[in-house]
Chains A and B, each alone.
Chain A
Amino acid sequence: KNQVEQSPQSLIILEGKNCTLQCNYTVSPFSNLRWYKQDTGRGPVSLTIMTFSENTKSNGRYTATLDADTKQSSLHITASQLSDSASYICVVGGGGNKLTFGTGTQLKVEL
């Protein structure tokens, strides 16, 4: 069964600090891996998309890594801001148009 597991489930950090969110997946076949940010009451917004051949991709203060051999990905957030408080969802694309979603890491950035 295709699965995407994320850790930690929730995280609280102080503004300005860095953090790293983890994603492990068992999805076959593998096509791409995406990280989304979902603010409360809003739809998910794409941060990064990586295909099999890419092992890192950045979007501003967000940097995603992908190790297709170990089937792991991470999302690193640098110099966190209050507006980074949200749910971060790891999503793996398999064959065709099917996506498998993780349950997300709930990040809270505090003063």
Chain B
Amino acid sequence: GAGVSQSPSNKVTEKGKDVELRCDPISGHTALYWYRQSLGQGLEFLIYFQGNSAPDKSGLPSDRFSAERTGGSVSTLTIQRTQQEDSAVYLCASSSRLAGAYEQYFGPGTRLTVT
């Protein structure tokens, strides 16, 4: 596709439910990032995938958060037993050294609201 896409664009869920957020990176991009943007806060790094290497999960805030990337392309971020503090915009970005060593292209985000 032309850019990074994410779905759903908005998600409202009840506290305690599990949610899955999807990211489709730019075709051919080997690196994929997940970030969280809470109201009034800077973007917070969650997890990073690079090719077939083990992902960098150092930013995941708790074991309720997990992510996978299938076939080196699509990624899903799963939040189990959601809490109200999980409410935020979840942004995905992809990059490739062919596109510029430091350039990251962001998707539009998924706005998660936990009630």
Give 1 or 0 for each of A22-64: 1 = CB within 8 Å of chain B CB.
Answer: 0000000001101000000111111001010000000000000
A32-B108 in contact given A43-B91, A97-B50 (Cβ < 8 Å): no
Instruction: Check if B42 sits within 8 Å of A89, measured CB to CB.
Output: yes
Instruction: Check if B102 sits within 8 Å of A101, measured CB to CB.
Output: no
Asked if B18 is an interface residue, CB under 8 A from chain A, the answer is no
Q: Footprint of A on B, CB under 8 Å?
A: 4, 31, 33, 35, 40-45, 48, 50, 56, 91, 93, 100, 102-109
A102-B42 in contact given A43-B106, A43-B107, A97-B48 (Cβ < 8 Å): yes
New A-B pairs, 11, CB < 8 Å, besides A31-B102, A100-B42, A101-B35: A32-B102, A41-B108, A41-B109, A43-B107, A43-B109, A44-B43, A44-B106, A97-B48, A99-B45, A101-B42, A101-B43
CB distance from B82 to the nearest CB of A (A): 22
Instruction: Check if B108 sits within 8 Å of A42, measured CB to CB.
Output: yes
Give 1 or 0 for each of A1-16: 1 = CB within 8 Å of chain B CB.
Answer: 0001000000000000
The total of interchain contacts (Cβ-Cβ below 8 angstroms) comes to: 50
Q: Footprint of B on A, CB under 8 Å?
A: 4, 31-32, 34, 41-46, 49, 51, 89, 91, 93, 96-104
Question: How many angstroms between the C-alpha atoms of A103 and B37 in the bound complex?
Answer: 10
